[in-house]
Chain A
Amino acid sequence: MKSTEDRILLAHGSGGRLSHELVQKSLVPSWSNPVLNRLDDAAVFKLSGRLAFTTDSYVVSPIFFPGGDIGKLSICGTVNDLAMCGAQPLYFSVALIIEEGFRLAELERIVTSIKEATEEAGVEIVTGDTKVVPRGSADKLFINTAGVGLIPEGVDISGSNARPGDKILLSGTIGEHGLAVMSQRESLEFKIPIQSDCAPLNKLVVDMLAASPEIHCLRDPTRGGLATTLNELATQSKVGMRIDEENIPLQEAVRATCELLGFDPLYVANEGKLVAILPPTDAERVLNQMRQNCYGREGAIIGEVVEQHPGRVVMRTRLGTSRLIDMLSGDLLPRIC
């Protein structure tokens, strides 16, 4: 039995006995699979076809938030990066950078949530690393994950593929992750019933591709929110975009919180949503398929790609006026007044 007070020591990262114990007892059993269990210096496996490969580092603070934690996020984020290229994510690496003094019990919670996320997404952790840094050199826990996936034949998804006339689909309500993380800051003196939307979207993408292999672009609107993602796609594809505020799904709690803090939900981060751009003929079919999946239930067609104003996104507001949607400049900060 471990006491709740057990903490990570610098020695846990020294490569010596404690390091081994940590890996053998706390990590490997939870993430177990034949490739990982060999514990060689590198993972060895066979893959053939078009590969997608990506990496990302996760430094979210606080590490636990409503609807998820840094562990779940570190898997879902990398799964989604692969899925947004149309790839089926397969093999992952996980590297932990732990601050000395971190509670072992919290580490175990995170290891478990990593395991749950990999199971849901159907990916395997085949290699990893653990480092412990002196107190103050890191904020509790940083995680880096990398992943490879296979892109099926016939799939050609890229941010530069949007064409005038294409429809823009959004898989659900926006703004939850950003607000859920922020709500955990002790200082925000209101409790909001908002959960992070953090989720692996690879199966949703498989469903959507089954409905139409013609999907031109996929992207998950994470940091910078929907506004920034649409701007990136418009710039990359050299097209304009028109979206309709009334069609963008939004939870009432998110709307109210954004009003209070002076945020625009279009700029608030998501971790379980995607934007898809595809030919108009397939839009309804993909939308229907999307809504069958638990992560696309509130999917909607929010606008279309146009030839005019390349690189710019214009929104028809709910007042009937038009507004240019720019990228986020600086940080999202609550208003003072």
Chain B
Amino acid sequence: MKFIDEYCNVELSQRLVERIRHKSAREVRLMEFCGGHTHAILRYGIRQLLPPTVEMLSGPGCPVCVTANADLDKAIALSGLPGVILASFGDMLRIPGSYSSLQKAKAEGADIRIVYSAMDALRLARENPHRSIIFLGIGFEATAPTIAASILEAEGERIDNYYVFSIHKLCPPVIRALLQSGEVKLDGIVCPGHVSAIIGSQPYEFIAKEYGIACAVAGFEPLDILLSIDMLLAQIESGKPEVEIAYRRGVRPEGNLRAQEIMGQVFETCPATWRGIGEVPQSGLRLRQEYQRFDTEKAFYVDPGPPREARGCLCGDILRGVKWPSDCRLFGQVCTPEHPVGPCMVSSEGSCAAYYQYQSHEAALSK
């Protein structure tokens, strides 16, 4: 589009593409951690530009997709409690749980409100002093600080009808879990953009040091992504894996210290269950002792029944990078964005949604 800036410059990206083509003699396998990256890569046709030797796998970086059915079921059950308003990011509403979805629960009468941030939910709490407001706290390190801030604000204002159902997840621990399992062989990782704006690039050091895998933090503009791929290939070529930043305007090595501090003040790490990956130690966030009165787990009891997985859905395998959306027999036939079977087809960061939106069309066009 019509604006001049260094990270969308066509000429620069063409030079980068040339360099990437030059560098990639041997086959390499890279993973883009974030669903946002998967979407950008497909949206801008970056695959069309990469040489066949460079393979890109999608990772588990879609907060909505990795939410386990057990947690989603619990959220749906919470929304049905009398006097409760459940506040959620819009992306969660259409995700099919074991038995229902938030969208269905809403249509059936549950008071579920779409919010854009935890601060919205806190406002609901102020405006509805006689209701219990439960904020569905999902997301990675990029969203957790705002939620922590909302709890501090609630504390300061002595708001006593605001609760958080914390199913936050942390990125570095799950990357470790993926690498430890040895299930996927990777040469490089395109590390998260917004998450890294908070935590910085240092938490990824172990990937390069312990696993010898190249790392580059990338933004979501096409040039950021090309630059990160170029950095990864250079590291692989030289045999010197490290953590580089291809997103200088957004990320500093140490991250956002203030945000980290707020997050640490309110939350502590805990084990968390990821869809398809299972329980990963220290990959979740729960409220610290001092803030437990804001914790839904302490204030409400629900029993949504045993979680079930949708039959035939490969989301779990896709999130681990071992299967592609095209491997799923339901993809595009039974499962579409309008009638999703699994979360990866619904979320705006889901892999199946990205492939459906951009790639099935490529096929249609080449016909």
Instruction: Point out the residue from A245, A317, A337 that lies within 8 Å of B349, measured CB to CB.
Output: A337
**Which B residues, 148 to 198, have Cβ-Cβ distances below 8 Å to chain A?**
192, 194-195
B316 at the interface (CB under 8 A from A): no
B255 to chain A, nearest CB (A): 16
Instruction: Point out the residue from A252, A321, A330 that lies within 8 Å of B45, measured CB to CB.
Output: A321
**Which A residues, 196 to 250, have Cβ-Cβ distances below 8 Å to chain B?**
245-250
A interface residue count range (under 10 / 10 to 19 / 20 to 34 / 35 or more): 35 or more
B360 to chain A, nearest CB (A): 9
Q: A317-B45, A318-B222 are in contact. Are A187 and B119 (CB under 8 A)?
A: yes
A185 at the interface (CB under 8 A from B): yes
Is B46 within 8 A of A255, CB to CB?
no
Contact with A along B32-69 (1 / 0, CB 8 A): 00111001000111101100000000000111100000
A38 at the interface (CB under 8 A from B): no
Is A319 within 8 A of B220, CB to CB?
no
Chain B residues whose C-beta falls within 8 Å of the C-beta of A324 in the assembled complex: 358, 361-362, 364-365
Q: How far is the CA of A333 from the CA of B288 in the complex (A)?
A: 31
B273 at the interface (CB under 8 A from A): no
- Which of B134-142, B199-207, B228-236, B301-309 touches A? B134-142
Q: How far is the CA of A185 from the CA of B115 in the complex (A)?
A: 9
Q: A187-B119, A252-B3 are in contact. Are A318 and B8 (CB under 8 A)?
A: yes
A41 to chain B, nearest CB (A): 40
B22 at the interface (CB under 8 A from A): no
Q: How far is the CA of A270 from the CA of B61 in the complex (A)?
A: 31
Name the prevailing secondary structure of the A interface residues.
loop
Contact with A along B209-237 (1 / 0, CB 8 A): 00000000001111000100000000000
B308 to chain A, nearest CB (A): 24
Chain B residues whose C-beta falls within 8 Å of the C-beta of A314 in the assembled complex: 365
Chain B residues whose C-beta falls within 8 Å of the C-beta of A186 in the assembled complex: 119-120, 123
Is B1 within 8 A of A337, CB to CB?
no
Q: How far is the CA of A330 from the CA of B139 in the complex (A)?
A: 21
Most buried by A among B2, B120, B195: B2
Is A337 within 8 A of B358, CB to CB?
no
Is A248 within 8 A of B116, CB to CB?
no
Is A329 within 8 A of B45, CB to CB?
no
- Where the two chains meet, the residues of B that have a C-beta atom closer than 8 Å to any C-beta of A are 1-3, 5, 8, 10, 13-14, 17, 34-36, 39, 43-46, 48-49, 61-64, 89-91, 94, 115-117, 119-120, 123, 138-140, 142-143, 146, 192, 194-195, 219-222, 226, 337-338, 348-349, 357-358, 361-362, 364-365
